[in-house]
Structure 1
Amino acid sequence: MPALTKKKVKDFIVDGVFFLVGSFIFAISVNTFTAPNNIAPGGLTGAATMLNYVCGIPIGVVTLLMNIPIFLWGLFEVGYRFIIKTIVATILSSVMIDLTVDILPQYQGDMLLTTVFGGFFSGLGLALIFVRGGTTGGTDLIANLISLRVRHLSLGRLVLIVDMVIVVISAFVYKSFESPLYATIVIFITSKVIDVVLYGSDIGNGKMIFIISQKNEEIAQRIMDRIGRGVTELRSRGAYTKQNGEVLLCAVSRQEVYKVYDIIHSIDPDAFTIVGEAGEISGEGFKQMQKNHAESKRKKQKDKHNS
């Protein structure tokens, strides 16, 4: 078996294991903590949880059905290779939720523990899926597709808008003011756990990605088109081969790293990639520039006042 084929088989197996384990852990969050306590923590899973409460339709089935038109939209916009892992991960997570609904215990005790552990298991499960380049569809995929058309809105803001709409609706569905508050806590903990699992506890403001590939132009163009981040070409020279080449440099947010990985892997599985911590990033697309400007302005005003 050729080396490349062996690598593909190995990647396929590893992807499957991570997706299965991640889906099971995510199902624990839904079936043990959030759904039994009337918490709809955003996303299509949150919408499916509300429909399950109203109509009794299985959460996994509803989630999968709602994702189908999004998949078709994604296939039309970005093609099969870009969302195949998302399709697989979404199917697995949806099936896992319904398969384990009668197996997993339901916790209906302290609501603070419910939100903490619901967010923890949700974040851990999703992170295992994200680390292999997949997502569970829903708001993440919707935000990616909308961002291709609406460049002035960030992906994070788009995801937040959709999630918060679902959270607000949950207050009317469950007829409870507390339900959306608990859902907000779950969303917050989920995002923090994902960051820690994917990028460690020492989290800066962004990541620097260096890419060495034989398909630099295609990778750079895809990153600019799909994620909306700029890419810089750096001239390089191999110490061993003495050949001139180029290294791609891209600064991204923490949440975008796995998306860049997915793009690179879909174009050139043999590409060499280095991800480094960026303690501070200033410029277009990053809030730090505005923060630095505001701090500098306050400092000048303070100095002027003291003088």
Structure 2
Amino acid sequence: MGFSFKRFWLINLGIIIMSAGLYYFLIPADLAVGGVTGLAMVINKLVPVIPIGILMLIANVILFIIAFLVIGKDFGGYTIYSSILLSSVIYLFEITTPLEKPLIDDIMINLIYGIIIQGIGMAIIFYQNASTGGTDIVAKIINRFTHIEIGKSLLMADFLIIILAIFTFGPRLALYALLGIGINALVIDKVIAGFNTKMKVVIISEKSDEINDYIINEIKRGTTLYYADGGYTKTKKTIVSTVVNKRQYIKIKKFAQVTDPKIFINVSFVQEVLGEGFWNGTC
């Protein structure tokens, strides 16, 4: 994907959102919901003198080389940056807003809010072809070679952490954590599906040439033209078909309605688009 300010900004936003879900909800409730974070919580429980943020940083180094070799330097570089920033933000939270107990004394509320907030942050990061290291790297490798959705891949990678949590925090918390990684997988896949959603627009108009030129030259999207006969009018019709995002569709709709007040537009949502002009990555 390469570097862009938008990508960099979105990765940072995802890290901050994820850190908030972890630190303010999951960590104080001892919910080791997989990943290096869950592993760090297990170790921290056994060796409290070592901060969770430092444990996360150390554990991530083990998988960085794999990320570079298997997935590539772009993913590996952003993964290093993201993991360092995640550890740093959590460590900053530990210094500025130390917590001796959960904000809310209800494990289910901590689990649900923590997982949803964390999952949204992780989805943003994954969608930018990056990760926060640890089992996220394992999940990305599974996703790359099997094309299993990234959330489900993460569920597979995190299952071992839950087994360790059973012996550290007991079966009750571990079962909550198991529920957590299941919800996490669902949230990540749903959020990414939302990012990937595009709109297939089919336009029937007497001004199809003008509309087609606008889509190609102004919106910078390709089109497909179909030639058909009107079932009611028995006249020749030119149908313009294209796939765009929501903002592009709004522009096309406004232009088309001004150009031809009698226009007919049919819109449907598509979950995945591959090919020229669209990202061919997997998530």
Map of 2:86 onto structure 1: 93
Please tell me the residue identity of whatever aligns with 2:45: Y
Map of 1:168 onto structure 2: 163
Please tell me whether Structure 1 or Structure 2 has the larger radius of gyration of its CA atoms. Answer: 2
Map of 1:35 onto structure 2: 27
Map of 1:120 onto structure 2: 116
Please tell me the residue identity of whatever aligns with 1:128: I
Deviation at 1:155? 7.5
Please tell me the residue identity of whatever aligns with 1:87: I
Partners of 2:149 and 2:94 in 1: how far apart? 32
Map of 1:273 onto structure 2: 278
Partner deviation per Cα, 1:179-209 (whole Å, 9 max, x = no partner) = 1111122212222222332223999xxx9xx
Conserved in 1, the CA contact under 8 Å of 2:60 and 2:134?
Answer: yes
Map of 2:133 onto structure 1: 137
Partner deviation per Cα, 1:62-87 (whole Å, 9 max, x = no partner) = 11211112111232334423422222
Partners of 1:72 and 1:202 in 2: how far apart? 29
Deviation at 1:119? 0.7
Conserved in 1, the CA contact under 8 Å of 2:75 and 2:129?
Answer: no
Partners of 1:201 and 1:273 in 2: how far apart? 12
Conserved in 2, the CA contact under 8 Å of 1:75 and 1:83?
Answer: yes
Conserved in 2, the CA contact under 8 Å of 1:126 and 1:135?
Answer: yes
Partners of 1:169 and 1:16 in 2: how far apart? 34
User: What percent identity do the matched residue pairs reach?
Assistant: 28
Partner deviation per Cα, 1:130-167 (whole Å, 9 max, x = no partner) = 2322111211312444788xx78967676434311111
Cα–Cα, structure 1 residues 81 and 190, in superposed 2: closer, same or farther, change >3 Å? same
Partner deviation per Cα, 1:249-301 (whole Å, 9 max, x = no partner) = xxxxx8xx8xx99xx9xxxxxx61178xxxxxxxxxxxxxxxxxxxxxxxxxx
Map of 2:17 onto structure 1: 25
Conserved in 2, the CA contact under 8 Å of 1:85 and 1:134?
Answer: yes
Residues 1:192 and 2:186 aligned together:
yes
Cα–Cα, structure 1 residues 51 and 80, in superposed 2: closer, same or farther, change >3 Å? same
Which residue of 70, 73, 76 maps to 2:63? Answer: 70
Map of 2:107 onto structure 1: 111
Q: Secondary structure at the match of 2:278?
A: strand
Map of 2:4 onto structure 1: 12
With normalisation by structure 2, the TM-score equals 0.61
Conserved in 2, the CA contact under 8 Å of 1:123 and 1:193?
Answer: yes
Partners of 1:194 and 1:167 in 2: how far apart? 19
Conserved in 1, the CA contact under 8 Å of 2:32 and 2:177?
Answer: yes
Q: Secondary structure at the match of 1:41?
A: coil
Q: Which stretch shifts more, 72-81 or 94-103?
A: 72-81
Please tell me the residue identity of whatever aligns with 2:94: V
Deviation at 1:21? 2.0
Partners of 2:83 and 2:137 in 1: how far apart? 11
Partners of 1:142 and 1:184 in 2: how far apart? 18
Map of 2:74 onto structure 1: 81
Number of residue pairs the alignment of both structures matches: 207
With normalisation by structure 1, the TM-score equals 0.57
- Structure 1 gaps of 5+ residues are 1-6, 208-236, 240-253, 265-270, 276-307
Please tell me the residue identity of whatever aligns with 1:41: V
Deviation at 1:15? 2.5
Conserved in 2, the CA contact under 8 Å of 1:37 and 1:108?
Answer: no
Conserved in 1, the CA contact under 8 Å of 2:11 and 2:125?
Answer: yes
Cα–Cα, structure 1 residues 152 and 116, in superposed 2: closer, same or farther, change >3 Å? closer
Map of 2:237 onto structure 1: none
Map of 2:172 onto structure 1: 178
Partner deviation per Cα, 1:229-261 (whole Å, 9 max, x = no partner) = xxxxxxxx998xxxxxxxxxxxxxx8xx8xx99
Deviation at 1:116? 0.6
